[in-house]
Each structure stands twice: as structure tokens, then as C-alpha cells.
């Protein structure tokens, strides 16, 4: 038997109903904030990710799904979407027509990680990118959007971790100092950690290894002592706006993120409900990326959120989705046409969901199915219907039922 690939999932209606509901909320939420949806292809030239996410990152080094096309071009399933958005932005030269572009996206991304709870090989990201403003209010808007989305979905115990990486001009000095201070303790590192310290020293700051963490706390220089006055002012203003907007955060000087394109503000939203150390979402500024990929010098900031992690935090397991509004129960063969006609009539007139059984099941098992679908009402058609042109309408939650004339069904629901 052919099975799905490890780390991917088939989503059945009980899950997709929830996803559609979340997406509807997200679409509306972004619309009221002035962000429009962008959809880019799920595969791109491999170079796009090596040049943006960074050659020495875990994503590019070991997690990308990459293959040679028939014509020898190297292609990659997107491991994230910021690079694609930036590529599209540059390709369409949008800065020439709009001083600022605000996008959001929802779609699959692919990373060959070790699958576990909240970590998949095909996962789904919801993300937001604001391209064009270098001002701190743009950072605060992005962070508040991230926070308020989780609030909207009722996620508890939220916290925002925030840090600044300073600008590109000063960061190399910090990186050098960091490398120098920690390289002295070579014996405390295992081989891959030491390699990371040499190749991508910033990433060592968010090492999960307790010994390394205490080494960092004791000996690593603080990035704040290296960044410029402008960087500090920018960060201070971001925090001030967040304070005014009553968005809670904690500063975390070791927060660096796993992608190379960041500068200045970086942040993550975490929730205890996820259990692990995994972030619900993460993002930051990437003021140099557009230029680096061949566009003009345009600042930008954004974040992306894992949809699966959002759904885990929402704890949807026991969420009883209403899968139909009205379930028409019919057990008479000669009422089949009439029940189908009635279903269409209600759908057309009221725009509500109506379900009709096509298995000719018994009254009892159709009722059971209606309950399983969490139907709000059932309409029971039987021999009485044939005789008196009436049906029984049952309000499933209030457990009351009434006998209603066939001709009056639509107006009955109109007044409900």
C-alpha cells in the first residue's frame, strides 16, 4: 500500500472545517488592517533560498527539498515564504508604483525536519510582510498584529520575546566578539555546536544546551553594547509604542532566529500551551534583503506563524463544528424527489446548509448521523408527510419539535 510521506498529513473535513474558519477570520483580520493577500508558487529557483535564508542555516544546509529539473535547473520547494514574496516584489518593481506594500499569505511550506508534535515536513504558514517603511511604528504594527491574532483565537498564556540585532554595519563586530569570547571554551561544545559557533556564531545564542546557555550568560558579550545609537533609538521607540498599545513583551537578548536575513527588531510569540520551546510565530526586520536579491534599497519587516501550531494551541480536538444547519430525514422511497427538492429550495432561499441522506438509512441511523454532524435542525419526512403535507421540524439543541406545513418550511426558518 502506498502511504503518505512522513511528516505530511491528509486533512479530513472535521479538520478542514476548522481551518476554513480560521482562514476566514485571518482574511477578515488582515483586510481590516489594510493588508492584501499574495500567492506565490510553491517552488522556486534554489538560489533564492540560499541567498536569502542563508547558506549556513539549518534550513538551507539540511532541510530543503531540492531537485534538478529536466533542463538541469535546481529547484526547491519553498521552506518559507518571505523570500518568494520579496522575489515577486522585486520582479514586479512594486516600489516604483507604491511606496509601501502590505501583504499576507497562507500556504504550505516544506522543511525536512524530524517530525514531531507541531513540527511537520509539509506545514502551513500564515505570514505578513510590510515592505517600504523603516519606521518603528511599522515594527510595532507587525508585532501587534501577530499578538492580536492569537488573542482573537483565544490563545492563553501568550508572551512575546523581542530583541534587536542592530544594523548590518555593526553586527559583524558583535559576531566577531561573540566568536572570540566563546571559542575559548572549545571543550564545552560538541562538534556540531562548535562548527555552528564558527560558521554562524549568532545561532549559538539560542542553543538549547543548558551548559552552553550558562556559558553564554556568563561570558558572551551583550549585543546591546555593540549596536548603534540609531538602532537603540529605533528599538526604544518600538517598545514605547508596544507599551502604549498594551502589548506585553519580554526582552530576550539571546533571541536571534534561524534565518540570516534579519537586522534590528526580531521577535517570537510563544505560548505555554504548546508545551515545548517551539514558537507560535516569529519574524523581524529584513532591511537589506530586497537590495541583496537585486531590488532597490527598501526596508521591510514581517512574521510567519505555523498554522498547525496555532491549531494545537487552540485545542480544537473537542470543537464541535456545525457541519450542516438542517438535516432532512426521509425514510420513504416515494419522498426522495420531494426531500431533494425541499433541500434545494431551502438552500436557494436561505443560503443555509442542508444535508440529505443518500444511503436510504433508517430513521434512527439518520438521526444519529444528524447528531454527529451537529445539525441545528432536522426535518423529518414520513408517511404523515404524504398524508397531511406536513413535516416535523426538530430543534436539536433545544430538543423541541413542531409540526409544520410543507409549504411553510422556508418561512418557518426565515423567522427562526
Q: Which is nearer to ligand HAM, 107 or 282 (CB)?
A: 282
The minimum distance between CB 7 and ligand HAM, in angstroms, equals 8
161 scored as a contact of ligand HAM (CB under 6 A): no
Q: CA 78, CA 98: separation in Å to the nearest integer?
A: 26
Closest chain position to ligand HAM (CB): 306
Task: Identify the DSSP state of 143.
Answer: H
Question: Which of 136, 201, 299, 302 touches ligand HAM (CB under 6 A)?
Answer: 302
Question: Which of 50, 82, 339, 378 touches ligand HAM (CB under 6 A)?
Answer: 82
The minimum distance between CB 259 and ligand HAM, in angstroms, equals 6
89 scored as a contact of ligand HAM (CB under 6 A): no
123 scored as a contact of ligand HAM (CB under 6 A): yes
Q: Which is nearer to ligand HAM, 124 or 369 (CB)?
A: 124
The minimum distance between CB 120 and ligand HAM, in angstroms, equals 4
The number of residues that bind ligand HAM (CB under 6 A) is 27
- Residue 391 contacts residue 379 (beta carbons within 8 Å): yes
Question: What three-state secondary structure class fits 105?
Answer: strand
Strands 36-37 and 101-110: parallel
Q: Which of 403, 324, 337 is nearest to 371 (CA)?
A: 324
Q: CA 101, CA 351: separation in Å to the nearest integer?
A: 36
Cell output for 158: 501568550
Within 8 A by CB and 6+ apart from 9, the residues are 120, 122
Residues 129-148 that bind ligand HAM (CB under 6 A): 129
Residues 277-296 that bind ligand HAM (CB under 6 A): 279-284, 286
Q: Which is nearer to ligand HAM, 150 or 327 (CB)?
A: 150
Using CB atoms within 10 A of its CB, is residue 205 exposed (0-12), middle (13-18) or buried (19+)? buried
Cα first-last separation, the chain:
50
Cell output for 299: 526596508
Total length of the chain: 416
Question: Which of 120, 143, 311, 354 touches ligand HAM (CB under 6 A)?
Answer: 120
The minimum distance between CB 413 and ligand HAM, in angstroms, equals 42
Between 239 and 278, how does the x/- string for binding to ligand HAM read (CB under 6 A)?
Answer: -------------------xx-------------------
Q: Which of 237, 309, 228 is nearest to 268 (CA)?
A: 309
Q: Which is nearer to ligand HAM, 174 or 303 (CB)?
A: 303
Q: Which is nearer to ligand HAM, 281 or 379 (CB)?
A: 281
Q: CA 322, CA 376: separation in Å to the nearest integer?
A: 7
Radius of gyration of the chain (CA): 27
Q: CA 372, CA 21: separation in Å to the nearest integer?
A: 19
Question: Which of 139, 231, 308, 325 touches ligand HAM (CB under 6 A)?
Answer: 308
Q: Which is nearer to ligand HAM, 254 or 323 (CB)?
A: 254
Residues interacting with ligand HAM, by CB under 6 A? 80, 82, 111, 113, 118-120, 123, 125, 127, 129, 258-259, 279-284, 286, 302-306, 308-309
Amino acid at each position: 500500500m502506498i502511504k503518505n510521506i512522513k511528516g505530511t498529513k491528509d486533512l479530513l473535513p472535521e479538520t478542514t472545517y476548522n481551518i476554513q474558519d480560521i482562514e476566514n477570520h485571518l482574511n477578515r483580520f488582515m483586510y481590516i488592517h489594510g493588508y492584501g493577500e499574495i500567492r506565490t508558487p510553491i517552488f522556486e529557483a534554489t538560489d533564492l533560498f540560499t541567498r536569502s535564508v542563508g547558506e549556513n542555516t539549518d534550513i538551507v544546509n539540511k532541510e530543503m527539498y531540492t531537485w534538478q529539473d529536466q533542463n538541469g535547473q535546481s529547484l526547491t520547494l519553498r521552506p518559507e515564504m518571505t523570500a518568494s514574496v520579496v522575489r515577486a516584489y522585486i520582479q514586479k518593481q512594486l516600489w516604483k508604483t507604491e511606496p509601501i506594500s502590505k501583504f499576507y499569505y497562507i500556504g504550505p511550506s516544506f522543511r525536512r525536519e524530524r517530525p514531531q508534535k507541531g513540527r511537520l515536513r509539509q506545514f502551513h504558514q500564515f505570514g505578513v510582510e510590510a515592505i517600504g517603511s523603516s519606521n518603528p511604528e511599522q515594527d510595532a504594527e507587525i508585532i501587534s498584529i501577530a499578538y492580536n491574532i492569537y488573542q482573537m483565537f483565544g490563545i492563553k498564556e501568550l508572551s512575546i520575546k523581542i530583541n534587536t540585532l542592530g544594523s548590518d554595519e555593526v553586527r559583524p563586530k558583535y559576531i566577531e566578539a561573540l566568536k572570540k569570547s566563546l571559542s575559548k571554551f572549545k571543550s564545552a561544545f560538541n562538534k556540531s555546536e562548535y562548527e555552528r559557533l564558527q560558521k554562524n556564531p549568532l545561532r549559538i545564542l539560542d542553543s538549547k544546551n543548558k551548559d552552553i546557555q550558562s556559558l553564554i550568560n556568563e561570558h558572551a558579550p551583550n549585543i546591546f553594547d555593540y549596536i548603534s545609537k540609531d538602532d537603540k533609538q529605533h528599538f526604544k521607540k518600538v517598545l514605547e509604542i508596544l507599551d502604549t498599545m498594551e502589548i506585553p513583551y519580554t526582552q530576550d537578548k539571546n533571541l536571534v532566529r534561524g534565518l540570516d536575513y534579519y537586522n534590528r527588531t526580531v521577535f517570537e510569540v510563544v505560548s505555554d500551551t504548546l508545551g515545548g520551546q517551539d514558537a507560535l510565530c516569529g519574524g523581524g526586520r529584513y532591511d537589506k534583503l530586497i537590495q541583496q536579491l537585486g531590488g532597490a534599497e527598501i526596508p521591510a519587516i514581517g512574521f510567519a506563524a505555523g498554522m498547525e501550531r496555532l491549531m494545537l494551541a487552540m485545542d480544537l480536538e473537542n470543537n464541535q463544528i456545525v457541519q450542516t444547519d438542517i438535516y432532512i430525514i426521509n425514510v420513504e422511497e416515494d419522498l426522495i424527489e420531494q426531500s431533494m427538492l425541499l433541500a434545494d429550495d431551502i438552500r436557494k432561499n436561505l443560503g443555509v446548509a442542508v444535508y440529505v441522506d443518500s444511503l436510504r438509512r433508517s430513521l434512527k441511523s439518520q438521526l444519529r448521523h444528524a447528531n454527529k454532524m451537529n445539525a441545528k435542525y432536522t426535518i423529518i419526512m414520513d408517511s404523515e408527510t404524504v398524508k397531511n403535507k406536513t413535516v416535523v421540524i426538530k430543534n436539536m439543541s433545544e430538543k423541541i419539535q413542531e409540526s409544520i406545513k410543507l409549504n411553510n418550511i422556508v418561512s418557518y426558518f426565515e423567522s427562526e
